[in-house]
Structure 1
């Protein structure tokens, strides 16, 4: 069973997931990075460019999903180095620190709350997200074209791509595509017909929507909704 709530950390989400049945799980790309707890271990989920399919026996997970672009400054690693990866936190932070954090999260009343406390401590000592990058996320999530957004920000294509790789793990066109997918899925889950969903979220047509869903999520749209609805 999956549940989430807004975090006390601006723009973040705290979530838990305890699968109720066997079989692989599917995590869809969303432009975000997560701090994870899984059966006593701390990990980091990098930004995904396609669906991440979990393997092995079902187990309990908790996480803090950071606003796009926020996590790299907290972890001290460019987002593109973690693209499509799940890594132990000890690979990114000093081992003694990770041992202390793991013990603190495991001793918390619930792991999700413990992770949130860790994230809040990190943010208190980190630089805030560059306002230009925050504007980029907001503009792309609103369906603004990448070229027009770059012009608004006064950034050249190469500079924007380089900064996007470090902050989001991929270039602005991929980020826009991932955010568009999430907007479309939200409408489709709410019962909006697929053709209307495509038109309202910037796809050329329903076939374009279907191709993007299959490529990014790994399943046809109708089957994806039936599994995650």
Structure 2
């Protein structure tokens, strides 16, 4: 049986609930998307931090992975950890929260008829007692996702470049320029997936030209446009928002 992937919108604002079944052996890479994931697999609760490059699940890691993917900037308040402490990392949730509490939560998810729904409930309960996402940060994400420049976004938010960079590190795990690059790549990949020609998708997404998009693919995604287009429809490399998994 091959790899399968499913996702749906979450009751947690802006989040996606997903499941991924891996058969074992080499797995397709997960592309950067600016998000942080809370995930459950093999009785463990883990956090996948924001990536700056494609993440490849270790070859031996097969099995079922269930996760909730939080929109950029929304997870740090829920987790109680600045995003830059999680950048390019996969960590046990017990490293962030009390181990006894996490053990109870993991058992609750494991015993649930629908682990994905149980994981979503966990996030919603936690969010009820946490500070809401900063509306200014959400505005920054929205503007960058629309292709607005970092300078214009900072000006609109009433922040200086250093202020925006500092707040972006805590919210996204990296500066606004990196987030803008990742969101632009995601826009381009969505257009390519929809059937737009490479050059047209590159310009529409905000790249200077097709060669610019090709460089971004190599640097951020670790693959080429051709490999992306040839990937099966259920692979993470063939989805604008890839879910994060770990061993």
TM range (shorter): over 0.9
Distance 1:225 1:91 in 2: 38
Where in structure 1 do 4 or more consecutive aligned residues deviate above 4 Å?
A: none
Alignment partner of 1:204 is 2:208: yes
- Give the alignment's TM-score, normalised by structure 2: 0.91
For the 8 Å contact 2:24–2:59, the answer to whether it is kept is no
Which structure 2 residue ranges, 5 or more long, are not aligned? 232-236, 239-247
Match of residue 135, structure 1, among 118, 139, 164: 139
Alignment correspondent of 1:35: 38
Alignment correspondent of 1:103: 107
Distance 1:12 1:21 in 2: 27
Alignment deviations for residues 152-178 of structure 1 (CA, whole Å, 9 cap, x no partner)? 111011110000000000000000000
Between 197-206 and 50-59, the greater mean CA deviation after superposition:
50-59
Alignment correspondent of 2:245: none
Match of residue 8, structure 1, among 4, 11, 15: 11
Distance 1:200 1:20 in 2: 37
Distance 2:202 2:44 in 1: 40
Match of residue 46, structure 1, among 49, 60, 74: 49
For the 8 Å contact 2:23–2:63, the answer to whether it is kept is no
Alignment deviations for residues 168-218 of structure 1 (CA, whole Å, 9 cap, x no partner)? 000000000000111111110111000000110000000000000111010
Alignment correspondent of 2:59: 56
Between 13-22 and 197-206, the greater mean CA deviation after superposition:
13-22
- Give the alignment's TM-score, normalised by structure 1: 0.97
Distance 2:230 2:25 in 1: 16
Cα RMSD (Å) of the superposition?
Answer: 1.0
For the 8 Å contact 1:7–1:13, the answer to whether it is kept is yes
* Number of aligned residue pairs: 229
- For residues 92-171 of structure 1, what are the structure 2 equivalents within 5 Å? 92-171=96-175
